Amino acid sequence: MSAPIDQRKYPRISITSGDYGVRFQVKGEEITNSRLANLSAGGCGLEVAVADVRYMEVGDILEGFYLDHPDLPSVPLSALVMRMLGKVPGKTCGYVLVGVEFQGITPFVRNLIAEHVAAQSPEE
């Protein structure tokens, strides 16, 4: 039996370092306590505090989306919420995994992110 094919358009890296930050706005609310869980040139995964995720739904646009890392472009991006894992009624603590896809990103910025991901990827 063959290995499953990765359906992702861009390679991604898992973020385990505290060197990466993310901040954004959703529905006029500033969200600053999220953590970047993974990154690709097409989007990223976030761990968003339950208290902050109450403002978010699948299909929402995250504005003023900044990837805070010295080797990544410091430009405001826009991101579409594609999926949310762990947002359930009654959950009052912890975080929700939020998958976002970058919207309207320029090829230049996408390439900068892709080069960073490639540089951080383990050698095969």
Domain with 49 in it: what CATH number? 2.40.10.220
Domain contains 124: no
How many helices (H) and strands (E) would you count in the chain?
2, 8
Domain contains 7: no
User: Which domain, by its residues, includes 23?
Assistant: 13-119
pLDDT in 10s for each residue of the chain, 124 residues: 444 455 668 999 999 888 899 999 999 999 988 999 999 999 999 999 999 998 899 999 999 999 999 999 999 999 999 999 998 888 888 999 999 999 999 999 999 999 999 998 876 5
Domain contains 1: no
Domain contains 8: no
How many angstroms separate the CA atoms of 114 and 116, rounded? 5
Give Cα 46 distance to the centre of its chain. 5
What does pTM read for this prediction? 0.87
Give Cα 78 distance to the centre of its chain. 11
Q: Which of 92, 3, 10 is nearest to 45 (CA)?
A: 10
